[in-house]
Amino acid sequence: MARICGICGKKPITGHRVSHSNRKTKRRWLPNIHKTRVLIDKTIKYIYVCTRCLRSGKVQKVV
């Protein structure tokens, strides 16, 4: 699954998982992405959209 929002371009970010003893290992934070039917240029398309774009009204969801 593509983990990039088709509207805002949000994608996974990386960092460290830090244990109690302060040891660091790599980890990823994944965005909340959903495959959604949206109306783009008067045509219905399936794109991956993050929930922030859906909630803010940046895309018009087709019912």
pLDDT (tens digit per residue) in 22-34: 999 999 999 999 9
| Domains of the chain with bracketed CATH | 1-63 (2.30.170.40)
Q: What is the pTM of this model?
A: 0.79
CA-nearest of 43, 29, 37 to 6 is 37
Share of the chain above pLDDT 70, in %: 98
Q: How many whole angstroms separate alpha carbon 11 and alpha carbon 56? A: 18
Return the bridge partners of 29, or none: 13
Q: How many whole angstroms separate alpha carbon 27 and alpha carbon 8? A: 23
Taken in order 42, 44, 50, 56, the sign of the CA dihedral is: positive
What is the pLDDT at residue 2? Answer: 76
Average pLDDT in the 9-28 region? 97
Is residue 1 over pLDDT 80? no
* Comparison of pLDDT for 15 and 61, the residue scoring more: 15
Contact yes or no for 52/34 (Cβ under 8 A): no
